Amino acid sequence: MSRSDALLHNVFVYGSFQEPDIVNIMLERIPEIISVTLPGFKRFRLKGRLYPCVVPSEAGEVHGKVLMGLTDKELASLDAVEGNEYERVTVEVVRTDNSEKFTVKTYLWINKDDPDMYGEWDFEEWKRLHMPKFMKTIKQIIELHKNPHQGKGLDDYTQIIHENLGDAPSS
């Protein structure tokens, strides 16, 4: 493995980031994308929000994609969009095409007992009903992230997500 390969990240995505058009907005490219399953976790809807969350669940499994070969800068863009309600962790996924297991990064919902979690999040429903609004919001966050002189950080990005894609948090 070359030195530059060691700096690349593979990231499991399970919600709106499965959509190549969204990935292209965030990363300004579409990386290699692999279909996988994440065992030991469950994906939920969040009341009043257009995006899902994933939390540990012994009997659960989440189908999603892995974005392969992301740079540190691209990973920072994902961090910005995920905001401060998710924690980036390392997990093991299983490829759907050949059952190979490998470790990747993903974003878990910090509040594992959140009363707003309910039911299974539906990717196809999200694409039909919410994708345009989501794309507009992601573009806004990425533009702010690209211009750090504006003094915006994770709390600001999370506020933008709440304002545009769900209920604004109470202060």
pLDDT tens per residue across span 24-66: 988 999 999 999 999 999 999 999 888 899 999 999 999 999 9
The answer to whether residues 17 and 67 touch, using CB atoms and an 8 Å cutoff, is yes
Q: Which of 19, 74, 82, 85 is catalytic?
A: 82
Confidence bin at 82 (pLDDT 50/70/90) = confident
The helix/strand/coil state of 75 is helix
Question: What confidence tens digit (pLDDT) does each residue in 122-171 have?
Answer: 999 999 998 988 888 888 777 776 766 555 554 555 555 556 555 433 32
Whether residue 82 lies in the annotated active site: yes
CA distances from 32 to 24, 25, 81, 114, 171 (A): 12, 15, 20, 33, 40
